């Protein structure tokens, strides 16, 4: 595999995000919703009976709004990665170019992940605002850094799932709906922990509970099990996407 080829593909895809109306619409909606979520968090923490804990813990995955919008954003980001190429009839041209399927998948995934990270960059202003309002002592660098690390890891896993579905889907709409459905089901596995009687099943559900993952990251705890889980999802989904492209190339 040649890193240069993947970087070229990633650069082309990343520029397509920023030079398309969809990219700016996603960015604007993302900041609007995250800004509103931050406002709600500040209002909650300003109440006398506010729950204790790291302030940014409630911002990083502490609400269903966080996950719902992450799923929507990831579905919008990944639907065009490979499904658009197939819909336009350019996927065959790309696969016959002097690049491997692995380079294509990694380049597409990297572009989606980088764009996802770019969406979160402006939210650093929220940290600065909270530090001014609540005092710098109220905002610890550790939980904030861990929260962003967890956000990028969880986002990377979701982007990888979307990349795989985009490789399998026949249209962008199909890819978006498929990604939304799979990520929603993955998210809903977490609450099932309360209804499982078998210890092994409870442990399995707890291992994939995204709410627990981000709760730990928001408190400043970087659990190696969470890191391995997200890294494994990324690796498996990208490998499966490569196989899907290889199969299509030889059909």
What mean pLDDT is predicted for residues 162-168? 91
In the chain, alpha helices (H): 3-18, 21-45, 64-78, 83-88, 91-96, 101-120, 124-134, 141-168, 172-188, 199-207, 210-218, 224-249
223 confidence band (pLDDT: 50, 70, 90): confident
**pLDDT one-digit tens code per residue, 88-140:** 766 666 666 677 888 888 999 999 999 999 988 888 887 777 767 665 555 67
pTM of the model: 0.86
135 φψ region: left (φ > 0), alpha (ψ -120 to 50), beta (else): left
The pLDDT of 156-183, averaged and rounded, is 91
Average pLDDT score over residue span 191-219:
75
Do 85 and 248 form a contact (C-beta atoms < 8 A)? Answer: no
| Average pLDDT of the segment spanning 155-168 | 93
From the list 236, 230, 228, 23, the residue with the least C-alpha distance to 112 is 23
The answer to whether 107 touches 6, Cβ cutoff 8 Å, is: yes
| pLDDT at position 210 over 70 | yes
The predicted structure's pLDDT at residue 95: 65
How does pLDDT run across 39-86, given as a tens digit for each residue? 777 776 666 665 555 556 667 766 677 788 889 899 988 988 887 777
């Amino acid at each position: 595999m040649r890193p240069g080829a993947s970087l070229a593909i990633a650069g082309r895809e990343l520029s397509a995000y920023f030079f398309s109306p969809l990219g700016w619409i996603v960015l604007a909606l993302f900041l609007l919703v995250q800004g509103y979520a931050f406002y709600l968090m500040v209002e909650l923490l300003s109440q006398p009976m506010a729950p204790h804990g790291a302030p940014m813990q409630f911002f990083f995955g502490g609400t269903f709004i966080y996950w719902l919008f992450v799923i929507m954003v990831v579905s919008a980001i990944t639907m065009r990665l490979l499904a658009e190429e197939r819909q336009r009839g350019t996927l065959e041209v790309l696969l016959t170019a002097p690049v491997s399927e692995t380079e294509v998948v990694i380049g597409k995934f990297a572009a989606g992940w980088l764009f996802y990270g770019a969406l979160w960059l402006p939210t650093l202003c929220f940290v600065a605002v909270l530090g001014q309002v609540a005092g710098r002592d109220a905002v610890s660098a550790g939980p904030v850094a861990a929260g962003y690390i967890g956000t990028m890891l969880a986002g990377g896993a979701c982007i990888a799932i979307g990349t795989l579905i985009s490789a399998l889907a026949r249209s962008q709409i199909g890819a978006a709906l498929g990604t939304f459905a799979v990520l929603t089901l993955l998210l809903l596995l977490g609450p099932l922990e309360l209804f499982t009687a078998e210890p092994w099943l409870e442990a399995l559900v707890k291992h994939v509970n995204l709410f627990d993952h981000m709760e730990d990251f928001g408190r400043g705890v970087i659990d190696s099990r969470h890191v391995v889980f997200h890294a494994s999802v990324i690796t498996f989904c990208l490998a499966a996407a490569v196989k899907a492209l290889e199969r299509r190339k030889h059909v």
